[in-house]
Amino acid sequence: MRVPIVAGNWKMHKLPDEAVALCQALIPRLGEFHNREVVVCPPFTALASVAKALEGTGVALGAQNVFHEPSGAYTGEIAPPMLKALGVKYVILGHSERRQYFGETDELVNKKIKAALEHGLKPIVCVGETLEQREAGITESFVKGQVEAAFSGILADDAKQLVVAYEPIWAIGTGKTATSQQANQVIAVIRKALESLYDGATAAAIRIQYGGSVKADNMAELMQQPEIDGALVGGASLDAESFARIVRYDD
Ligand code: PGA
């Protein structure tokens, strides 16, 4: 059985003090959560203070990006061991905003995934089509290609460490969610692609989230779909009450 994973992507929001305050508001609202993993991904500058605020809570810490070299002359970059040293467990890679605004290619994302795994970080790898691609009817082939590129050269045992986030770009921050059936359908295609790359057992072990305008009032319906194993939540993760309600979608 795959344990659902709900991750909050705080993007470029929250100063360290604000991030700690958000954690302090969130923790009591989460209460005891069973049979799911909860992750928050603050910006780099708040990781250290959020790590402290999360101690003993069962909520895991994630980062939003990492470079693929362990150290060196790469001004402005952050290496996997630096995140590891702060207690980071997950790292979002290949988010569409990084692909769109920072020129991240499938090849770079694959390098980052390998580097993260090598240093004991679990990648949350984002894939998803644009509105134009959906309208042109190439969603499934495009997303399948992104998944194949992301997992290229990764062995089955390592592949099981990855989480995939299917995030249709047209649904991110727009208030337009994919219907739960649309999301489930593409996620099923992703799982099929993983089965072809590896085998049925490996594909069945990899968690695949949906992301894109997930809110407290659409989460339960999304989670009813058999292939959806959780959510990557942007905007709604910045509010303690709404993120807690998303995590507790089945209360
Ligand atoms: P959103 O963002 O929930 O604000 O649509 C999701 C994401 O970009 O991960």
User: What is the distance between the alpha carbons of residues 212 and 128, in angstroms, rounded to a whole number?
Assistant: 10
Q: What confidence score (pLDDT) does residue 194 get?
A: 98
Q: What is the pTM of this model?
A: 0.97
State the catalytic residue, choosing from 95, 97, 119, 140.
Answer: 95
Q: What confidence score (pLDDT) does residue 11 get?
A: 98
Place of tokens 């058999």: 226
Q: What residues contact 200, with CB distance under 8 A and at least 6 apart? A: none
What CATH number is given to the structural domain containing 175? 3.20.20.70
140 is catalytic: no
Q: What is the rounded average pLDDT of the residues 177-206?
A: 97
Q: Name the closest-CA residue to atom 1, ligand 1.
A: 234
CA atoms within 13 Å, Cβ hemisphere of 37: 20
Each residue's pLDDT tens digit, 30-43: 998 889 999 999 99
Tokens of 227: 């292939």
Domain encompassing residue 166: 5-247
The count of other CB atoms within 10 Å of the CB of residue 245 is 19
Q: What is the rounded average pLDDT of the residues 99-118?
A: 98
CB 26 within 8 A of CB 239: no
Q: What confidence score (pLDDT) does residue 168 get?
A: 97
**Strand bridging mode 60-63 / 37-41:** parallel
Q: What is the rounded average pLDDT of the residues 128-142?
A: 96
Q: Give the Å distance between the CA of 199 and the centre of ligand 1.
A: 30
More confident position, 173 or 16: 16
Q: What is the rounded average pLDDT of the residues 44-69?
A: 98
More confident position, 178 or 215: 215
221 is catalytic: no
How far is CA 21 from its chain centroid?
Answer: 22
Q: What confidence score (pLDDT) does residue 177 get?
A: 82
Instruction: Supply the mean pLDDT for the chain.
Output: 97
Given the CA of residue 97, which atom of ligand 1 is nearest to it?
A: 8
% the chain with pLDDT above 70: 100
CB 48 within 8 A of CB 62: no
Number of domains in the chain: 1
Q: Give the Å distance between the CA of 233 and the centre of ligand 1.
A: 5
Q: What confidence score (pLDDT) does residue 175 get?
A: 83
User: What is the distance between the alpha carbons of residues 208 and 228, in angstroms, rounded to a whole number?
Assistant: 6
Q: What confidence score (pLDDT) does residue 166 get?
A: 98
Residue from 99, 214, 219 whose mutation best tests the ligand 1 pocket (most atoms within 8 A of CB):
214
Each residue's pLDDT tens digit, 141-184: 999 999 999 999 999 999 999 999 999 999 998 888 889 999 99
**pLDDT band of 217, cuts 50, 70, 90:** very high
pLDDT exceeds cutoff 90 at 4 = yes
Q: Name the closest-CA residue to atom 3, ligand 1.
A: 234
**pLDDT band of 17, cuts 50, 70, 90:** very high
Q: What is the rounded average pLDDT of the residues 38-58?
A: 98
Q: What residues contact 16, with CB distance under 8 A and at least 6 apart? A: 45, 46, 48, 49, 50
Q: How far is CA 91 from CA 41, 166, 183, 185, 197, in A?
A: 8, 15, 22, 25, 23
